[in-house]
Chains A and B, each alone.
Chain A
């Protein structure tokens, strides 16, 4: 069939654009190291008792990130997203030390929620039965002030959803070592 030469040229440019997009995203994964949320977090029965028995949530005694044994600067935080709070996060800000790599494990016993650190690229869905596992690097701070991020649920979860939010605080080393605000 005949296609006008200009349209053939445009067809070629379109393919170039498409391949360019795919290439950029591949670079993001391979070069910049961006990982997508996947099934690595595993599953858990969506009930409070099962969740609290699960290792990553049982070890979360308060609002402080839990150090990973044998690894320097690596921490874990187990967050339960429920109607309509993040536990921890809402009643007490989640505390992480500066210059750390933190892996969040997030699940829900009731409905689908969102977990988004506002103004960053840490953004995931929270689905009952599934554990969302995301690893984020927090930079060293400049100065002694805590850096604060907002935490928000961005998936409708019921009447009260608009109140579901919290905070994550990055603590300077001294504040972290002295126990922060337990």
Chain B
């Protein structure tokens, strides 16, 4: 029953990551089928720091900020007669 994968979190805190993982690592580790996920190590909740994500969203923030300023102040306000 797939509902188990969603509710396997009732056990003790530390066991959370293992329960979910055991289920699919063991069935797919030897296959090279579509469902093989290429996992070489497990990273649990406490060990994971999404540094790459932070950098990417910061870059996005800068791009959006600059583009907005450009669009509003140059493209828009510089675009000929405006409704006043």
Give A contacts to B, CB under 8 Å: 4, 6-7, 9-10, 13, 17, 20-21, 24, 28, 32-37, 101, 117, 119-124, 134-139, 149
Contacts and interface: CB of A to CB of B under 8 A. Distances in A.
Interface residues of B, number: 21
Contacts of B82: 32, 34, 120-122, 136-137
In the A-B complex, the 8 residue pairs with the closest CB atoms: A120-B80, A121-B82, A6-B54, A136-B81, A134-B83, A120-B81, A33-B84, A121-B79
A21 B83 contact: no
Q: Is the interface of B mostly helix, strand, loop or mixed?
A: helix
Contacts, number: 68
A130 to B, nearest CB: 16
Interface of B: 49-51, 53-54, 57-58, 61, 64-65, 68-69, 72, 76-77, 79-84
A24 B72 CA distance: 8
Contacts of B69: 24
B20 to A, nearest CB: 18
Contacts of A120: 79-82
A33 B83 CA distance: 8
B54 A32 contact: no
B68 A137 contact: no
A33 B84 CA distance: 6
Nearest to B77: A32
Given A34-B83, A37-B83, A121-B80, A17 B53 contact: no
22 contacts: A4-B50, A9-B54, A10-B54, A17-B64, A20-B68, A24-B68, A24-B72, A28-B76, A28-B77, A33-B84, A36-B83, A101-B84, A117-B80, A119-B80, A120-B79, A120-B81, A121-B76, A121-B79, A121-B81, A122-B81, A136-B84, A139-B81
